[in-house]
Amino acid sequence: MTSLFRHVALIGKYQTVASGASGASSRQAMEDIAHFLHTQGCEVVFEHDTAHNMGITGYPMLDVPGIGAQCDLALVVGGDGTMLGIGRQLAHLGVPLIGINQGRLGFITDIPYGNIASTLAPMLRGEYEEDHRSLMQARVMRDGHCVFDALAMNDVVVNRGATSGMVELRVEVDGHFVANQRADGLIIATSTGSTAYALSAGGPMLHPSVPAWVLVPIAPHTLSNRPIVLANTMEIAIELVSGKDASANFDMQSLASLLHGDRIVVTRSEHHARFLHPRGWSYFDTLRQKLHWNEGAV
């Protein structure tokens, strides 16, 4: 049966598999997926760096802007980190994403590699659930000028230096003073990122349909500083009051060294990532499998 998606891009986690046995197995997996897509009537292209670093030949190659212009679906093979990276790049281009995980189940790469034929075939025919995830736009402001900006799908984290003590951070929401917090750092997480660093720091899990952010202090000096859930329409500003070697991290990918007086301003991006899941997919199924709920239950 003809696929609803005619032009499909394949994107893989190529940074750690460019050579050796793992590279060969990953290359074979990508080529197997490409062959399957051909049997479903799809025209397949590879993301340029994926093909180059895996040594894949015989297929058209496109860079990310080219994928956005020419493809109507992207299959991401790897883990959640791979999906976060490409999701940020493709969000403004509107290309839907399907995540295939070769290792452990991911929160957003939720199709096991061994199930691709039985799972992907109906999805390509249009039998899928669509899931939109908001992104954050974060800027580092210094003396009234933007010195760094980035998109984040998971979180924005302000951290103390590796060898220094606590940082003091002034927190404002929509221009209203909230508190000065002394802590090891502060996390602003989307609902997608609520199951990442924010969860390990004691924050709540937010269902991805909830249009909210969670503000989570890291090891706060005052134990009454607790996580708080905020509407994602709000603007959050964090000013570094004191502390050495502090940094700002955006999805743990980008890094900016901070000076006293720097302000990290976070707003909701106008763009969102589009994830496609198998028909009948449930976020709670993912939580049960990923967090090992109900193990040992009768």
Dump strand ranges (E) for the chain: 7-12, 43-47, 61-62, 73-77, 97-101, 111-112, 128-142, 145-152, 155-159, 167-173, 176-183, 185-190, 212-218, 228-231, 236-242, 247-250, 254-257, 263-278
> What dihedral do alpha carbons 191, 192, 195, 199 form, nearest 10°?
-50
The H or E element spanning position 53 is helix 48-54
CA 120 to chain centre: 22
Task: For 83-136, give the DSSP string.
Answer: HHHHHHHHGGGT--EEEEESSS--SS--EEGGGHHHHHHHHHTT-EEEEEEEEE
Q: Which of 80, 110, 155, 262 is catalytic?
A: 80
> Position of tokens 């994830």?
275
Between CA 88 and CA 273 the distance in angstroms is 7
Closest Cα to residue 8, out of 92, 110, 123?
A: 123
Q: Is 155 a catalytic residue?
A: no
Tell me the three state secondary structure of residue 19: coil
* Catalytic sites, residue numbers: 80
